[in-house]
Copies of this chain bind each other. A is one copy, B any other.
């Protein structure tokens, strides 16, 4: 029910052309969801600020381009995740002002530079160099959403002194994203050092009994450090998004 219909209905009531009972009856069966739709969408655009995200995997270049076109009418920034290099190349041909981040497979398009609106610094850590693509996805997502981001890479738990060497930086963070594959133990160690929200991202790095990230996922879900929460395997975007939501709270 769009507002014109509603307005017309109420005007008729005002004019005495409809009784209160008739209007109530009509309101009861009107497609409330349209009312809701507008309302919710309003909320969504408010809360999302000026950015929108496209999940690139499994979408054709032509589909992505038409979504981008329609988004750029009213959005100032577009983020495309999980985009393969060849698709990125095709999209950049059309939008040469965009930036493709090869390791994290993210592509960003911005009419205006990002404004920082997060309250503190989000730290993104990872255990091994192979976890960097997932960590970068988290870091760039958080930056895109308007946060200061600091990264600490290649600090596995079998070299505990390397983690401790960064303790001061870690303790100043407002939120910490920790990506790790293999046994996925880094969030437990970090979670024990700080009292800040720790978002753990298991990565699919490993072989054999890592089972594509299951070992790391289970390790993180069973973390002995209180306050650690977990996202899906290799879900750097989700971790960065959640960190941003927390940082803007």
How many residues from A make CB contacts under 8 Å with B? 111
Instruction: Name the interface residues of A171-219: CB closer than 8 Å to any CB of B.
Output: 171, 174-175, 182-185, 188-189, 191-193, 195-197, 199, 202, 204-219
Give A27 to B48 CA distance when docked, in angstroms. 24
Are A199 and B233 in touch, CB under 8 angstroms? Answer: no
Are A38 and B28 in touch, CB under 8 angstroms? Answer: yes
Are A34 and B215 in touch, CB under 8 angstroms? Answer: no
Decide if A7 is an interface residue (CB 8 Å cutoff). Answer: yes
Are B222 and A183 in touch, CB under 8 angstroms? Answer: yes
Flag A135-161 by CB within 8 Å of B: 1 or 0 each: 000000000000000000000111111
| A10 in contact with B23 given A192-B160, A209-B233, A223-B183 (CB within 8 Å) | yes
Chain B residues with CB under 8 Å of A120's CB are: 249
Instruction: Name the interface residues of A107-122: CB closer than 8 Å to any CB of B.
Output: 119-120
Give A218 to B206 CA distance when docked, in angstroms. 11
Interface segment, one of A70-78, A83-91, A92-100, A238-246: A238-246
CB < 8 Å: which of B161, B205, B225, B227 contacts A40? B161
Give A20 to B27 CA distance when docked, in angstroms. 15
Flag A10-50 by CB within 8 Å of B: 1 or 0 each: 11011010001001100111011111111111011001100
Chain B residues with CB under 8 Å of A163's CB are: 160
Give A76 to B26 CA distance when docked, in angstroms. 30
Give A228 to B205 CA distance when docked, in angstroms. 19
Give A238 to B191 CA distance when docked, in angstroms. 12
26 examples of A-B residue contacts, CB within 8 angstroms:
A3-B24, A6-B27, A14-B14, A28-B38, A32-B39, A37-B162, A40-B193, A58-B205, A59-B129, A160-B163, A160-B192, A174-B249, A182-B223, A183-B224, A196-B249, A197-B245, A208-B213, A208-B222, A210-B218, A210-B232, A218-B219, A228-B238, A228-B242, A229-B238, A229-B239, A247-B249
Known: A160-B163, A227-B241. 13 other contacts (CB 8 A): A6-B24, A14-B14, A14-B16, A33-B161, A36-B165, A58-B130, A158-B225, A158-B226, A184-B219, A197-B197, A202-B208, A208-B235, A210-B222
